[in-house]
Amino acid sequence: MSATPSAVPPASGESPQAKLSAMQRIIGVFTSPGETFADIARAPSWIAAFIFLTITGFAISATLAQRVDWKEASRKQIEKSKFAQSQFERLPEDQRERAYENQARQAKVMRYVRGCVGSVLLIFIMGGIYLAAFKIGGLGIALKFKNARAIVSHAYLPLGIKELLGIPIVLLKDPSAIDPENFIASNLAALLPGDAPLWQVALGGSVDLFTFWCMALLAIGFSAFNPKKMPFGKAIAIVICVYAIFVAFGLGMAVIFG
């Protein structure tokens, strides 16, 4: 995986032309990311990557919505949180069962919603966050939101591969054994016992193969925008800092509500 981009986007008035088609860019992210992100830096685009992520995201979400035993999944999730468990234990038995059923219905509906709008929210929110992070870390490099959005949309393409791999796994698994948040067991949380505390699940979930793949692509992508001011080493350091903040926040919430 090449981490050295070959070109810098020109500062001339004319809009530079992309050398790669939208499909070539999607394939190139996996086969030659340095060259691909250099092309994206010359002519930013994001629609094709967004469509790919939306299709794969909705496909896995619909599969999970139909296959997961959501009542059991909700029960397991509540049991991992002492805070949530204490709230449920105060309810009479009949109300508790209805609460589990309501929770299950809501989780199933939210899975469809996530499949429909998850990709666009991911691209726009993370595009804005990384735009701010690289503006600050890059000491005012001429990065625009369209650049950040294009880089982020393509850097998160491995999530689409994860979702495609997850579909047959989910279809073959016993519904009660499916973890909707870790459906292909790609992180360390899969190795924890079922009664592991929430903070351990959050920490284990942060050590994820596909997440690290995306982080490497983010660093390659933002370095491609301006290799002189933003070498790969500096770019990966900024990406790691942003990720560390998210992990720390997630751990803090898990400790508070776990």
**Which stretches does DSSP call E strand in 148-190?**
none
Contact status, residue 222 vs residue 235, Cβ threshold 8 Å: yes
pLDDT at residue 215 is higher than 90: yes
What residue spans of 68-92 are helical by DSSP H? 70-80, 82-89
**Helix (H/G/I), strand (E/B), else coil: 208:** strand
Q: Cα(1)–Cα(92) distance, rounded to whole angstroms? A: 57
pLDDT at residue 35 is higher than 80: yes
Q: Cα(31)–Cα(47) distance, rounded to whole angstroms? A: 20
| Alpha-carbon torsion angle 241, 228, 1, 206, nearest 10 | 0
Q: Where are the domains of the chain?
A: 22-257
Give the side-chain half-sphere CA count within 13 A for 99. Answer: 14
pLDDT at residue 10 is higher than 60: no
Of 16, 31, 14, 36, the C-alpha closest to 161 is 31
Largest CA distance in the chain: 70
Structure tokens at 83: 């805070």
- Give the model confidence (pLDDT) of 115-158 as tens digits: 999 999 999 999 999 999 998 886 667 889 999 999 999 999 99
pTM as predicted: 0.86
Structure tokens at 253: 């919430």
pLDDT at residue 225 is higher than 80: yes
Structure tokens at 139: 């000491």
At residue 11, the pLDDT reads: 47
